[in-house]
Structure 1
Amino acid sequence: MKNMNTENERLKDEAWREWGPYVSNRQWGNVREDYSPDGNAWENTSHDQAESKVYRWAEEGIAGLSDSKQLLCFAFSFWNKKDKMVKERFFGVSNYQGNHGEDVKELFYYLDNTPTHTYMKMVYKYPISAFPYDQLVQESLRRSKSEPEYELIDTGIFNENKYFDIFIEYCKVDADDIFIRVTACNRSKENAPLVILPTIWYRNNWSWGYNDYKPELKKSKNGVIDILHDSLSIKKFYARNANSEALFCENETNISKIYNRPKTEGYFKDGINDFIIKGTKTVNPKKIGTKACFKIDTEIAAGESKTFDFRLSPHEMNDAFYDFDEIFEIRKEEANDFYQNLQANIPNEDEKNVQRQAFAGLLWNKQFYHYNIAKWLKGDPNLEAPRNFKNFVRNTEWKHLHNKDIISMPDKWEYPWYATWDLAFHCVSFAMIDAGFAKNQLTLLTKEWYMHPNGQMPAYEWNLSDVNPPVHAWSVFRVFKIDENINGKADIKFLESVFQKLLLNFTWWVNRKDIKGNNLFGGGFLGLDNIGAFDRNMEMKDGEHLDQADGTSWMAMYSLNMMRIAMELAMYNDVYEDMAIKFFEHYLYIADAMEHIGDGKNGLWNEEDGFFYDVLQLSNGDSISLKLRSIVGLIPMFAVEVIDHEMIESLPKFKERMDWVLRNKPELTKLVSHWQVEGEGKKHLLSILRKTRLTKVLHRMLCEEEFLGDYGIRAMSKIYEKNPFIFYAHDRQYVVHYTPAESDSSMFGGNSNWRGPIWFPINFLIVESLQRFHYYYGNNIKVEFPTNSENYFNLNEVAEKLSKRLCSIFLKDENGNRPFNGGVEKFNQDPYFKDYILFHEYFNGDTGKGLGASHQTGWTSTVAKMLQPRNLLSGLNKELITRD
C-alpha cells in the first residue's frame, strides 16, 4: 500500500482539503469580534471571558480541526485538577498586558503535516502544577520596555519535568473520515492526574437573527455521539473507550456571567468547564446539545504514557477502530515518503528536521477566516453594534469586504488574521509542497470581495487601509516559476488572471502614493513601522511630505515584476508586449526620479555615504536627507531584473521600444545595462543600483559594525548602539538607538520592533537580489565578506554565506545549542525539547534569539527554501533564484 506519489495524487482532488487544522488558536481580542463603541478589541473580549462568550465569526481551540466552512469543530481540552479553568485555549497576555505587546504564554510545537492534512502531529507541553495565569500577567505588566518578556519557562513550572507531553495526531481514512489520537506522557517522577476532553461543537450560526436552523449533537450509545447537521457528511464521533462519559451543553453565551445579569436557565458554552471544575449541574442530563465531549479521567504514572483514540466518520459501524493502527502507520509512511522525496538532496538530518517542521508550522497555520465588514459595522438583528461613527470605527471604507475562506495566517495566536505582504512570503514556501494552494491564496487576495474597488489590497484587519510593501507580483511570479519547474508546465491562466487584477493595484499605488506625481513614493508604514526617526504615517503640515527610499524602491521593484510577468505572458500572447513596454518605461521613470530628486545633494542616494536615505520635503522647497542607516537604504537592491537577450529577441515590439528609449533618452540609458557573457550570450540588467553603487551599499551591509550579524542582516546599523541618530524638526528632537531585540519604544504600537532585529522576509529578498546580480555580473564583481576582512567573494557566494547564517539560527551548533532558543539550557539540551523548533517573527540582531510571535512560521518558513539545495538556472522558462 506504500506509494511515494500518494500525497501528490491526493493534491489533485479538492475533497481531501475539506477538513484541516482550520481552527484559530485565538479568537478573543480580535477586531472582528469587537462590538464595542470605542474599537478597543483587546479589552472587548478577554481570555477568561472566552470561556463563556460565544464568538460571532469563527472558533478557537487547541490543535483544532474543522471543515472548510467551519460548521463543525473539533479540539482538545485538558485539566490537571489544579488549574482554575479547563485548558480549552492557549493562554497569552494581551497587547496592554505584555511589556512588548501581545504574547502567547504556552509551549507547543508543530511537528508534522501534509498538504492535504492526511497526517498531522503536534505536541503541547501542559504543566502538572497549576498554570501560573496571574503570575504571567502581573510580571508582564511590571516589566519595562527595556526588559525581556516574561515567558512560561521563566516561572520554573517545568522544573523537575513536572509536565505532560501531549502528542496530538490526526490521520484521514478518507476525505471525510478522520482518526484522532492523543498520547499523554508524564515526564515527571510522580504519578499525576489528567482529564482529557476531546470536544466537538458547532460554530454558532443561529443566534444572530439570520438563520434559525440549529443542528444537534446527541448521545447514540456508549462511546458514540451522533452529529446531526444537514450540510455535513460526518455523522458520528466515536471513542475507542466505550465507557468514556459523554457531556453536553450549548455553544451559547452565558449572559448572566458575562454581563452580570440575573441567572438564566440553560446549559451554556462554559457548562462543561463548570461541571468539570466545580461539579455544578451545567451539562444537559438529556445528553443533547451543540457542544459535546467525552470525559477521560485518568492518572498517568511517573515516566509513563497513555494513548486514547477517537474517530469522526460518516459511517455507522460496530467497531470503528478495527483498522486504526494499520491506517495510522500507512499515513505516517506516506508523509515520510512525501518529504523524503522533497529532501532527497539534503544530506544533513538536522536540516531535514528543521525544514520539515517549517512546513508543518506553515500547514498548521491555515485558518478559516470569516469577516463580513458590512454586517460587522451594522450589527446583526440579534446582536447590537453600538458604533460611535463620530469618534472612531475601524475599516468603515471597506464595506465590500466579505472574507470566508481558508487562509494562511502569520501566527494563529498572535496574528490570527491574514496580512497581505506576509502571505506573499508564505506562498513561496507553500509552492514547494502545494503549488495549488499557493496559487489559490495569491488569487484570493485579488478577488473583488477582498480587493477594494479602487484597487487597494487589504492590509490586515486592524487597519485594512494601511499600506504593505507591494510584493504580491513578486510572489506571483516566483510561485508561477516554482510550480512550472516542479510540474513541468506553465500555468498561464493563473499568471494572466492575477496580472489583470494587479494592474488595478499598481494604478492605485501610482494615483494615491505618489503625492507630487513625480514618481517618488511615500507609502507611510510599508511594514517598517518603527524603522524611522518618526512615525512615517504622520500627517505633516503645509504640504510637507516624506519621499521614501523604500517606498520608491518597492515601486521600482513592482514595475520590474510586472514587466517580467508581461514578458512571460507575451511569449503566449503578443498583446502583452505593450504591457511589458509600459512597465519597462515606468521603471525607468522611477529609477530616474531617484537620481534627480531635489538639488542633488538631498537625493535619495547620498554619494558621500554610499547609501540611500529618506528625504523630507519641506514647505519652503528645501529638503532634508534623513541620514539614518537602516534597511530602508537596502531595499533599492530589490529592484533588479536580468533578462536574457534571447527573450528580448523573441519579443520584437518590446525590443524595438527598448532600443528607441535607449537611443532617444540618453538620460535613461545608464539605467539599462547589457553584458556579453562568453558562451551564454547577452544579458540585460535593469537595476536601481549600478556596479559602483552596489558595491558601496554592500560595503556597509556586509560590515559587522553596521548591518552584518552572525545570524543575518540587521534592520538597523549597529553604529547607533553607542552613538544614537538624532534629528531635529519642528522644534522637536527625535532619537533613534540600535536595539537588537524588542523595541524600547511603543510610539507606533505596543509591539513596535524594527530597530535592530533580523527579519527573514527582508533577508530572503536580499539573498535573492544578490543572486540576480551574480547572474548578470558573475565573477566581475567580488566584495569583501565581511567588510575589511580582505576575503573576497562573488555575489552568489555572499548570498550562500548569508543563507547559512540565517539557517544557523535554527540548527545545532558545535555544542548542540540552537540560537533561536536564546541560551535556555532546557530547550537546547533536554531530550524532550532539543529537537523541537519554533519559527519566530524576528530574531535578536546579536544573538539570534527568537522574538515576537513564536509560531510565525509564515514568512520565517522561507528558511525551508534556503535549506533546499541550490541550482542556478537560466533560460526563458526557468527562474534562477533560490534553490528551485
Structure 2
Amino acid sequence: MNTAEHQRLDEDERRERNWKRWGPYLSERQWGTVREDYSEGGNSWSDFPHDHARSRAYRWGEDGLLGFSDRQCRMCFSVALWNGNDTILKERLFGLTGPEGNHGEDVKELYYYLDSTPTHSYAKAMYRYPQRRYPYRELVAENSKRGLNDREYELLDSGVLDENRFFDVTATYAKESENDVLIEIAVTNQGPEEHEIAVLPTLWFRNTWVWGCAHEGCTAKPTIQAIDSHVVQTRHDTLEPFVCSFENQPGSELLFTENETNMEELFDGENFSPYTKDAFHRYVIHGEKESVNPKRHGTKVAGLYRWKLKPGETQRVRVRLTIKDMAGEFHPDVADEFDQILQTRREEADAFYQTVLPSKATDEQRLVSRQAYAGLMWTKQFYHYIVADWLDGDRDVMTPPEARHQGRNKDWRHLYARDVLSMPDKWEYPWFAAWDLAFHMIPAARIDPAFAKKQLMVLLREWYMHPNGQLPAYEFYFDDVNPPVHAWACLRVFQMEAETGKRDYKFLSQAFQRLLLNFTWWVNRVDSNGDNVFAGGFLGLDNIGVFDRSKGLPEGAELEQADGTAWMAFYSGTMMSMALELARHDRSYSDMASKFLDHFIRIVDAMNGGESGGLWDEEDGFYYDQLKIDGQTYPMRVKSLVGLLPLIAVEILDEDLLDDLPGFRNRLEWFLNNRHDLVQHITFCQTTKRHRRMLISIPTKERLERVLKVLLDESEFLSNYGIRSLSKKHETEPFKVTVRGQEHTVAYVPGESDSWMFGGNSNWRGPIWFPTNYLLIEAIERYHEFYGDDIEIECPVGSGQKMNLLQVADELNRRLSNIFLSPEEGGSRPCLTGSGMKSDESLWQDQVLFYEYFHGDTGEGLGASHQTGWTALIATCIEHLHGRIIEGVE
C-alpha cells in the first residue's frame, strides 16, 4: 500500500516527520469533569457548570467546537458562532448534566464527524446551528419534568429546527506539512429566509501560567501578537513561533483577549487582567468594545466575520496556521493554492480508504464505514490528569478541600496522564475508559496499527497501571472493575498487523509482561475461595443481574458469577495464545503458555461442574449466576448476556503449530495422560493421520448447541439488529426472587432504563451493545473453525433454515449492519428513528451517528450519541460481510 497517507503514517512511525502533532485533540466538554472539580462535596457537575465555562479558565484541559490542537493542547483552534438571537456565544456544546437528564447526562446538540485520515492530514466535521434562540432553559426544564418511562426531550423536539431553520457549519482541516494547517470554515443557510450569522475562528493558548504547575514546562505567559491587519504571531516557551493568517474580508476584524477567568463576574473577585476569557461573548452579543484589548495582543484571538446569507447560500472563511519559518509568501486571499491543497488532501483521503473499505461494499455501507472511522479518529483527545497534583492542589490557586484526600481516586496518586487518548465520547465521556479503549483499537488497527499499539500500551505503563496491577477503569472512579479485555485487544491488534506481513513481537512481549501483573491482580481479587469461580463488581454487565453489584450483596451472601468466571477463562485463554505466539520467537515463553493452559482448563472445569457444582443449568440449557446465602444455593435464572458470555472463552490448539515447541508439547502430553479429570474439557478432532486439533472451551459441543438455540431465538436474544443483552421472554415473564423477605425483579427493557436502580443506569437490560456482540460473533467463528459443518443449527429458530456457524456469524454481522442501513431507498436508518430526524437523505440521513447502544426491538440509537469508539466496530462487521481485504486483494 503506497498511498500518500500510508507514506505519512510510515514517516510518522519512524519519527522522520511529526504528522500527528496536530489533530482533533480538543475535548468537546471540559466543564463538569472530575478533574475540574474543586468542590467540598465532589459533585463535578455542579462545581463547574456549563454557565461558568465561557468565563472560567480550565486547569486541566480545554474544550471547543469542531476544534484542533497540538498533541499537548498548548495551542488550540475552534470556531465560535452567534445567530443574532442566542443569549450566549456558541463556543462549546451544551447538554444536560447527569442529575438534569431523565436518563442521565445527554448532549443536546447536533454535530457529525464526516471524515479523517489517521494522521489528520484531512479532517472534516459539521455542526448544525439553529437560527432561532437556542432553548437552554427549555431543555433543562422539560427534561426535569420527565420520568424514566418518558423519552428524553431533544433539541429537535423543541421546534427550533423546524423548516430547516439552521446553519450547517463545516470545519475542514488539511495539512500542507506537519506544521502547516489549512482551515476552512463553511457556513450554509439551510433555512427558507435570509439570516445573519457571526463566525469567529478562534486561536488561543491553554492557561498553564496562573497555577504555578512546573510540569507544563511553561510557567511564563505566552502571547499572540498582531503583525498585520489579519495576521498574528505566537510566542510560547515550549512551541516554535507560529503565524496564523485570518482571511481578510470586508468588515472583518481581529479581536484579542486573555484566556483567564473573569473573577469579578463569577466570584466577585479581582481579575488577573482587564481582558478575560468571555470577552468575545461580551463584545459580539452585548457590544462591549472595552472587553477586547485595543493593543492587539493577548493569549486568545479571533477573527470576526459577520455574514447575511440567503437561503441555500454558503459563505467561507479561510485560516492558515503555519510555523513561522514556513510561512513564506502565503496569504489566505490566494484562494487557488488554498483550495488546491484541500482538494489534494481530500483525494488522498479517498485513495487511502479505497485500500481499507471492501471493494464489494455498497455505497451506503462505504458511507457508514467511512464515517465510523472518522468518528474514531475525531474522538482522540488530549487527556491531562495528574492525580497527586489534583489531590494536593496548586501552589498559587485552586486549593482543594482537605476532604479530597479521603475521597475519589485517593489511592491513585501515581497516575500521571498527559497523553492523546482514544475517548468513548468527547462530550458525554471526555475521559478514557479502559475497556472501551480496548474495543476502540480493533477498528483503529485497520487503519493505523501503530496508534492502536501505543494506545494499548499506555494504560499498561507504570504511570497508569496501579502498583498492585490493576488497570484504571475511568476518571470518575479508577478503582472500579471492568472486564479484562485488554489482553484480547493486544493479541488481536498483533494478529491484524501480522496479516499484512509484520509481526511486532516487541509490542506483544511488552504487553504480555505487563499483563502478567494485571492477571495476578485479577486472580487475587475476584477468586476469594480459590475455587476458580469468580465474582467481583461490574465486569461490564453491571445491570443485568438481580443485585446492584456496585452496592454489594446482602450480608453473608456470595454471588458466583457466570460472566465473571467466563471473563477469567477468556483472559487465561488469551494469555495462553499470546505466550504460544511469543514462544515461536522465544521458546522461554512456552512455560508461561503451560501455566495459562492450566488456569484455563481449571476454570472451565469449575464452570461446568467442579467442586463448586458448576454454573450450568441442565434443565434450561444455560449458564446462570448462583447466589449462596444462609447455607443454600440459588441459581439466578435470568437469561442474559451473563449466560452467553461463557461462549467467548474458546481457544484452538493445532498440533502442527506445536511441533516447534517441544517443551509445551511435553507438558501438554503430561497433562493429557495424568489429569483425566480435566482432560474431559478438551475436544479433539483429527486433521490428518498424524495430527490433531484440540478445542478448549467452556461449553461442550452439546452445551454449545443448546445455548445457541436460545441465542438464535427471536423471541429471546436474536433481534433484527443483533443480540439483545437480556432475553425478550423476560418482558412477559420477569425473573423474581425473594431474599430475606425482599423481592428482586429483572424484566426485559429494550431501550432506556425504567428504574433508578444502579443509579438510573439499568441500560444493560435489553439493548444491543456492539462490544459483546462482537465478542460473541468472533467466538462463533472460532467454533466453526474447529467444528466446520459438523454443527448446523436452525437460524433463526423456527425458520427451518439450517446454517453452519460461519453462516450464523455472517447473519449476526448482517443484522448489526441493519442498524445503520436504510431498509429502503430514501428511508430512515433504524439508528436514527425516534430521534426526530427527517428521512430527507441529503440533510439528515447522510450524516450518521454512532450511539452507545441500540434499542433491542427497533435498532434506535440510545445513550451517548457519539460513542464512536466501540460502535466503530460496525466498520469491521461490514468488512466481514464482504470478506477480508489485505493489500487490495480479497
1:569 maps onto 2:589 in alignment: no
Letter in 2 for 1:308: V
Equivalent in the alignment of 1:297: 306
Partner of 1:839: 850
Q: CA deviation at 1:542?
A: 5.0
What amino acid is the match of 1:840? Y
- In structure 2, the CA distance between the partners of 1:587 and 1:390, relative to structure 1 (3 Å rule), is same
Shift of 1:347: 3.3
Q: Is this contact kept in 2: 1:38–1:392, CA < 8 A? A: no
- 1:849 matches 2:860: yes
1:81 matched to which residue of 2? Answer: 84
State the alpha-carbon separation in 2 of the partners of residues 387 and 723 from structure 1: 50
In the TM superposition, residue 760 of structure 1 has moved relative to its aligned partner by: 0.3
Relative to structure 1, is the Cα distance of residues 64 and 264 closer, same or farther in structure 2, using a 3 angstrom cutoff? closer
Among candidates 644, 652, 676, match of residue 642 of structure 1: 652
Tell me, yes or no, if structure 1 residue 253 matches structure 2 residue 253: no
Residues 671 and 395 of structure 1, relative CA distance in 2, 3 Å threshold: same
Q: Offset of 1:146 from its aligned partner? A: 0.7
Kindly provide the amino acid, as one letter, of the partner of residue 788 in structure 1.
G
Aligned partner of 1:607 in structure 2 is: 618
| Counterpart mapping for 1:93-172 below 5 A | 93-172=96-175
The one-letter amino acid of 2:844's match is F
What's the counterpart of residue 748 of structure 2? Answer: 738
Q: How far did 1:139 drift? A: 0.9
After superposition, the CA RMSD in angstroms is 2.0
The one-letter amino acid paired with 1:291 is: K
Aligned to 1:12: 13
Contact kept in structure 2, 1:598 and 1:623, CA below 8 Å = no
Partner of residue 427 from structure 2, selected from 413, 431, 438: 413
CA contact (8 A) 2:487 2:574 kept: yes
Distance 1:366 1:3, change over 3 A: closer
Paired residue for 1:225? 232
Offset, 1:681: 5.3
Q: Are 2:197 and 2:307, in contact at CA under 8 Å, matched by a contact in 1? A: yes
Which deviates the most, 223-232 or 313-322? 313-322
- Decide whether the 8 Å contact of 1:409 with 1:423 is kept in 2: yes
Q: CA deviation at 1:647?
A: 1.1
| Paired AA for residue 504 in structure 2 | D
Gaps in structure 1 of 5+ consecutive residues:
none
Q: Deviations over 1:684-714 (max 9, x none)?
A: 1010011010011111111111111110000
How many corresponding residue pairs?
873
- Aligned-pair distance for 1:297? 1.1
Q: TM-score, normalised by structure 2?
A: 0.95
Separation in 2, partners of 1:741, 1:810: 17
Is 1:398 the equivalent of 2:412?
yes
1:406 alignment partner, SS class = strand
Which amino acid letter does the alignment assign opposite residue 686 of structure 1?
Answer: I
Q: Which amino acid aligns with 1:629?
A: K
Deviation at 1:9, TM superposition (A): 4.0
Partner of 1:813: 823
CA distance in 1, matches of 2:48, 2:309: 35
Q: Which residue of 1 aligns with 2:357?
A: 343
Does the residue aligned with 2:842 lie in a helix, a strand or coil? coil
Q: Is the 8 A contact 1:2 1:330 kept in 2?
A: no
Distance 1:871 1:340, change over 3 A: closer
Can you list the C-alpha shifts for 1:518-547, whole angstroms capped at 9, x where unaligned? Answer: 111112111112111111133345542211
| Distance (whole Å) between structure 1 residues aligned to residue 375 and residue 401 of structure 2 | 37
Segment drifting more, 448-457 vs 531-540: 531-540
Q: Is the Cα–Cα contact under 8 Å of residues 7 and 334 in structure 1 kept in the other structure? A: no
Distance 1:871 1:675, change over 3 A: farther
Q: Does 1:462 align with 2:476?
A: yes
Matched residue type, 2:481? V
Out of 221, 242, 247, the residue aligned to residue 240 of structure 1 is 247
Amino acid at match of 1:26: R
Q: Which segment drifts farther, 777-786 or 258-267? A: 258-267
Summarize the Cα distance change of 1:680–1:829 in structure 2 as closer, same or farther, 3 Å threshold. farther
| Greater mean alpha carbon deviation, residues 323-332 or residues 96-105 | 323-332
How far does residue 661 in structure 1 lie from its aligned partner after superposition? 1.2
What amino acid sits opposite 2:371 in the alignment?
Answer: Q
Deviations 1:58-100 (A, max 9, x none): 1000111111111111111100010000000011100011000
Match of 2:770 among 755, 760, 769: 760
Q: Which moved more, 1:608-617 or 1:679-688?
A: 679-688
Give the equivalent residue in structure 1 for 2:462. 448
C-alpha distance in structure 1 between counterparts of 2:823 and 2:387, whole Å: 49
Q: Matched residues in 2 for 1:31 and 1:526: separation?
A: 22
Equivalent position SS for 1:136: helix
Cα displacement (A) at 1:654: 1.2
1:858 aligns with 2:869: yes
Partner of 1:389: 403
1:303-339 CA distance string (max 9 Å, x none): 1111110000113444333421111111111101000
- How big is the shift at 1:38? 1.0
Mapped partners of 1:650, 1:319: distance in 2: 61
Residue 867 (structure 1) aligned to one of 872, 878, 882: 878
AA aligned opposite 1:462 = F
- Structure-2 residue corresponding to 1:357: 371
Shift of 1:301: 1.2
How many angstroms apart in 2 are the aligned matches of 1:553 and 1:214?
A: 54
The 8 Å contact of residues 543 and 758 in structure 2, kept in 1 or not, is answered as yes
Q: Which amino acid aligns with 2:633?
A: S
Q: Output one character per residue of 1:787-832: Cα deviation in whole Å (capped at 9) or x when no partner.
A: 1222111011000000000011001112522100115574432421
Residue 317 of structure 2 corresponds to residue 308 of structure 1: yes
Alignment partner, residue 833 of structure 2: 822
What is the alpha-carbon distance in structure 2 between the residues aligned to residue 842 and residue 523 of structure 1?
A: 24
Query: In the alignment, residue 215 of structure 1 is paired with which amino acid?
Result: P
Q: Which amino acid aligns with 2:585?
A: Y
Alpha-carbon contact 1:176-1:233 (below 8 Å) kept: no
Partner residue, 2:671? 661
Q: Secondary structure at the match of 1:137?
A: helix
- The one-letter code matched in structure 2 to 1:578 is D
8 Å CA contact 2:174, 2:182 repeated in 1: yes
**Preserved contact between residue 583 and residue 661 of structure 2 (Cα < 8 Å):** yes
Amino acid at match of 2:513: Q
Cα shift readout 1:748-791 (whole Å, capped 9, x = no counterpart)? 12443111000000000011000000000000001111112221
- The letter for the 1-side match of 2:278 is D
Does the residue aligned with 1:417 lie in a helix, a strand or coil? coil
Alignment of 1:693-704 (within 5 A): 693-704=703-714
Counterpart of 2:487 (choices 463, 473, 479) is 473
Task: Report the residue type matching 1:287 in the other structure.
Answer: R
For 2:233 and 2:272, how far apart are their aligned partners in 1? 27
- In structure 2, relative to structure 1, the CA distance for the partners of 1:869 and 1:514 (3 Å cut) is closer
Between the aligned partners of 1:167 and 1:578, the Cα distance in structure 2 is 56
Matches within 5 A, 1:279-294: 279-280=287-288, 281-294=290-303
Work out whether 1:216 is the aligned partner of 2:223. Answer: yes
User: Equivalent residue for 1:437?
Assistant: 451
Instruction: Return the TM-score normalized by structure 1.
Output: 0.96
One of 37, 41, 44 as aligned partner of 1:41 = 44
Is the CA contact (8 Å cut-off) linking 1:223 and 1:242 kept in structure 2? no
How far apart in 2 are the matches of 1:573 and 1:871?
36
Counterpart of 1:786 in 2: which secondary structure?
coil
Decide which of 348, 357, 363 is 1:334's aligned counterpart: 348
- 1:648 deviates by 2.0
| Post-superposition offset of 1:621 | 3.4
Structure 1's 871 and 361: CA in aligned 2 closer, same or farther, altered over 3 A? closer
Contact 1:36-1:385 within 8 A present in 2 as well: no
Question: Helix, strand or coil: the match of 1:831?
Answer: helix
User: Alignment partner of 1:63: what SS?
Assistant: coil
Counterpart check, 1:272 vs 2:241: no
Separation (CA, whole Å) in 2 of partners of 1:745 and 1:194 = 43
* Equivalent-residue separation in structure 2 for 1:198 and 1:530 (angstroms): 44
2:761 & 2:263 partners in 1: Cα distance?
Answer: 33
